[in-house]
Structure 1
Amino acid sequence: MIRTYTAFILLGLFWGSNFIYMKWAGALISAGQISFLRILFGFVPLAALAWRSGVLKSGQVRYLHHLAVMAALPTAFCYFAMAKGTALLPSGIAGVLGGSPAIFTSMASSLFLRNEKMNRLMVSGIALGIVGITLIARPWAALSDSAPISLEGVAWMMAGSIVFGMSYIYGRRFLSPTNLPPLAIVTWQMGLALAMLFFVTDLDGTGQILHDARALAGMVIGLGLLGTGASFLLYYFLLRELGAVAASGAVYVTPVIALMIGWAAGEHVGPLEVVATLLILCSIAMLEVGRQRTTRPEATPIQTAVSPD
């Protein structure tokens, strides 16, 4: 069990630290370039493991159109939106907002999946999450010249969260019935997303990150190898050892770690930020408990989408 608990702690740490790495890289390269490099360095270990495990089969090509949708939306776009939003926000705040996809996943599931209807606990959880997001965004301060939070940054983070939530429905509808191995699905997703970003991203100037050793290490090792590639492998391990509910508990750790790292890096963390974080965490917990009361266990999100964190 020591190995399992270590994997759980590492997963929360890797996910939670992604935002400070994006913040460092965002000072030198564009959001598109960050997304491309992140997927590149995350894809390499996943592809190697998938090839060694023998989970990639030529017959999987017949699902390429569905895999392409998942590559374009919850992978390429969500990573871009998170990088764009993080560049405009304190990394800790971005990390807290980055933990909100569960709220939009629950809303989308109740609207489009017949067997996942909301109960009172889930409705209360969504309301609580929206209050937490509103406290973070502070729209009442938008008219001030010294607004503490960029609403554009919040909008990008919310766009990524909403798209990720909606993509869960698509994955459940079209990919879960295929019974493809989770490792195969995510490897295809990331490989296709890498190709898409290569063709649509202006990579000119990407070498600027070579001038900052901290940002380079954060991009390649922190965000790519650990925050993307190794994080999926750890989640896959926890999924097998603990089950989907326990493995998803790392989502609760992520905003807290992101906020603590931001505070350690000199970002302002006041009572409002702490309260908002607690509200969002309580929201996610209420949604998870409520979902367990209303649905039977089915395909888990890891089978259909790459985490946006």
Structure 2
Amino acid sequence: MKSPNSKWIYLFLLALIWGSSFILIKKSLLGLTAFQLGSLRNIITGIVLLIVGYKGLKQIDRSKWKWIALSGFLGSFFPAFLFAIAETEIDSAITSILNSLTPLNTVLMGIAIFKIATTRRQITGVIIGFIGTTLLILEGAELNPNQNYLYAGFIITSTLMYAANVNIIKRHLQDVKPLSIAAGNYVFILIPAIVVLYFSGFFKASTFENPELGNALIYVSILSIFGTALAKFLFNTLIQLSTPAFASSVAYLMPIIALMWGVIDGEDFSWLQGLASFIILFGVYLANKKNA
């Protein structure tokens, strides 16, 4: 029986791990393409989780497998590629801030799909969040004219997928062990990831001539083992310990860690982007206040 306060431990630990993931993606992209990074991340994570959690697969009820498959593609497979593609154009710190839209989208999806009642405060929070997002993207495009901020759409799409995944786990997989969910996801993800890696050009001679490849493989391995495999287990546990809104609120804390890494790595960040970030987080807070 876990302590009622254990959810906070999971929350802060996840913020530290996932907040560091964005700089690891950035460093991995120095030696890998976005599709190579996304597929390797899925493959390494899948191997680790299936080795550790394969025994739990037998305990999963047959009726749950369709939800585990959907959870896997929405919560892991597609976002791994979308984040990598986005960071080919957008700084890692900005990516982390845009990712903070996840809890806001969790509320929106709960209202639109699951018919969860809403309040005026939550609607206000959604509006404020979108204003902050728009301001952040526009200021980022002006501050970094060499970066294509249309790629922010890949991050926003990922936050919608994450929001759907949170609701799926809470509503349909509440009685499945977190490690079994994580391992079960990769029963469906692993083969498609291998196919993508094969067609990504990873096995061509030119890839192995890149002097940055060795470091990139180290970074993507750390990202996969800690930022995905361990984090998925912790996140699934957190969802079952709390509510979808509370679990997705890890996105409030991740930008603090990611911004620290971004500044250390020399990324530009203006006061107006700081203001836009605060507006986003305040809007997300309002939108989730009822259920957190």
> TM-score, structure 1 length as denominator?
0.78
1:160-309 paired onto structure 2 within 5 Å: 160-169=158-167, 175-176=172-173, 179-201=175-197, 202-205=199-202, 208=208, 211-221=212-222, 223-235=223-235, 243-244=242-243, 249-292=249-292
The change in CA–CA distance for 1:57 and 1:30 in structure 2 (over 3 A counts) is same
Task: Verify: 1:82 aligned to 2:80, yes or no.
Answer: no
- Residue 32 of structure 1 corresponds to 35
Across the aligned residues of Structure 1 and Structure 2, the Cα RMSD in angstroms comes to 3.2
Distance 2:286 2:7 in 1: 25
Distance 1:128 1:226 in 2: 33
Deviation at 1:203, TM superposition (A): 4.0
Contact in 2 for aligned 1:105/1:166 (Cα 8 Å): yes
Select between 179-188 and 120-129 the one with higher mean Cα deviation.
Answer: 179-188
Find 2:152's aligned residue among 151, 154, 158.
154
Deviation at 1:55, TM superposition (A): 2.5
Aligned residue pairs: how many? 283
Deviation at 1:159, TM superposition (A): 1.6
- Residue 117 of structure 2 corresponds to 117
Distance 2:14 2:176 in 1: 24
The change in CA–CA distance for 1:231 and 1:72 in structure 2 (over 3 A counts) is closer
Select between 104-113 and 247-256 the one with higher mean Cα deviation.
Answer: 247-256
Deviation at 1:168, TM superposition (A): 4.4
Q: Helix, strand or coil: the match of 1:154? A: helix
Distance 1:128 1:49 in 2: 42
The change in CA–CA distance for 1:65 and 1:249 in structure 2 (over 3 A counts) is closer
Contact in 1 for aligned 2:141/2:149 (Cα 8 Å): no
Gaps of 5+ in 2: none
Select between 6-15 and 128-137 the one with higher mean Cα deviation.
Answer: 6-15
Q: Helix, strand or coil: the match of 1:256? A: helix
Deviation at 1:84, TM superposition (A): 0.9
Q: What fraction of aligned residue pairs are identical, expressed as a percent? A: 22
Q: Helix, strand or coil: the match of 1:147? A: coil
Deviation at 1:171, TM superposition (A): 5.1
- Residue 303 of structure 1 corresponds to none
- Residue 100 of structure 2 corresponds to 99
Select between 100-109 and 24-33 the one with higher mean Cα deviation.
Answer: 24-33
Distance 1:285 1:105 in 2: 12
Select between 268-277 and 163-172 the one with higher mean Cα deviation.
Answer: 163-172
The change in CA–CA distance for 1:192 and 1:148 in structure 2 (over 3 A counts) is same
Distance 1:98 1:73 in 2: 15
Select between 8-17 and 75-84 the one with higher mean Cα deviation.
Answer: 8-17
The change in CA–CA distance for 1:229 and 1:126 in structure 2 (over 3 A counts) is same
The change in CA–CA distance for 1:281 and 1:111 in structure 2 (over 3 A counts) is same
Gaps of 5+ in 1: 293-309
Contact in 2 for aligned 1:141/1:147 (Cα 8 Å): yes
The change in CA–CA distance for 1:101 and 1:59 in structure 2 (over 3 A counts) is closer
- Residue 22 of structure 1 corresponds to 25
Distance 2:83 2:187 in 1: 19
Deviation at 1:237, TM superposition (A): 5.9
Aligned residue type for 1:29:
L
> TM-score, structure 2 length as denominator?
0.82
The change in CA–CA distance for 1:279 and 1:190 in structure 2 (over 3 A counts) is farther
Aligned residue type for 2:187:
G
Aligned residue type for 2:281:
L
Distance 2:250 2:59 in 1: 33
Contact in 1 for aligned 2:72/2:186 (Cα 8 Å): yes
Deviation at 1:141, TM superposition (A): 5.3
Aligned residue type for 1:197:
A
Q: Helix, strand or coil: the match of 2:57? A: coil
The change in CA–CA distance for 1:65 and 1:128 in structure 2 (over 3 A counts) is same
Aligned residue type for 1:25:
S
Distance 2:191 2:255 in 1: 30
The change in CA–CA distance for 1:40 and 1:121 in structure 2 (over 3 A counts) is same
